[in-house]
Amino acid sequence: MGYGYGRYAPYVSVAERRKKVEKAVAKAKKAGAKLSPVEPISGAIAKTFWGKAWCNNLEQYSDYANRLPRGRTYVRNGSVIDLKITAGEVRAQVMGSSLYTVDVTVTAVPGKQWQAIGAGCAGSIDSLVELLQGKLSKGVMEHICTPGTGLFPAPREIKFKCSCPDRASMCKHVAAVLYGVGARLDQQPEMLFSLRRVDAKDLVAQAGAGLPKAKKGPTSSKVLEDSALADMFGIEMAEVAVPTKSAARRSTATATHATNATKTTRKIPAKKPMKAKPPAKTPTGTRTSTSKTAVTSAKVGVALKSPKHKAATITRRKKGE
């Protein structure tokens, strides 16, 4: 039920609303519910590209001009106690004079429009790298953020309802939820693609499809410097010398030969040099005996052949007869 024309809900101070928030959160936790609150915010609601772009998109439309300021106040003081983003839908709970439920539906990006966004991001390696980093070049930002043709929804693509009795087309609770989406995109920018029911990987793939194929090798202007890689991934790049093809073949052949030699060669212990055996010694007595026998035989032979020996032999024979 509404409050009637010219009547408003009773005013609730920020301090009273905070007490109600604490009670509602405690009750939800006791019941086992998991809440995803938008924490109280001081300063700008959104600080990253994705969050800022969402909030700027809301503020471009005059349809929301009268209600957005109250919504900013609510989201800053922590009145959005639960906010969940799913494919094409945002469900939230906002504390006002009571706890209200807000449902926001966002239409999917039309197929042709999504293809046009992808085509606008193609052809530039810088836009691809910046997209992976969460940073976009000026050209890519224009394609993504252009009202009506970009990734962010126009008023006609957003439908919402709130359980509060306010009859306005957009109440402050809905405005608080829409700003809460911007704050959530600071932490989870991929939720924007889920909300618009598109896949961020498709955008990256379409951006990469426009890149020229490398022929012989990347030129110096296309090479990402080591310092940029180190800043991106938080690592230190070690300098490694890149061998030429001939050097690589020589090193491969050398390594293969060394491997085979290691496998087939066994260590053979060195043989000790053999000592030469001394020549066998002939006993001294044997040599002397032999020589004496030879000399004696020679003397006997000579004696037998002498004339005196022959005459004596003949005389002995005659006496014997």
For the segment 39-69, what is each residue's pLDDT rounded down to a tens digit? 999 889 999 888 999 999 999 887 788 889 9
Q: What are the C-alpha distances in Å from 244 to residues 48, 247, 248, 251?
A: 45, 5, 6, 10
- When mean pLDDT is compared across 12-16, 132-136, 159-163, 180-184, the lowest value belongs to 132-136
Domain ranges of the chain: 40-211
Q: Note the pLDDT tens digit of each residue in 8-30.
A: 566 777 788 788 888 888 888 88
Q: In this model, does residue 78 exceed pLDDT 80?
A: yes
Q: In this model, does residue 189 exceed pLDDT 70?
A: yes
Q: In this model, does residue 301 exceed pLDDT 60?
A: no
Q: Note the pLDDT tens digit of each residue in 246-293.
A: 555 555 555 555 555 544 445 555 555 565 555 555 545 444 444 444
pTM: 0.61
> HSE on the CB side for 288, CA within 13 Å?
3
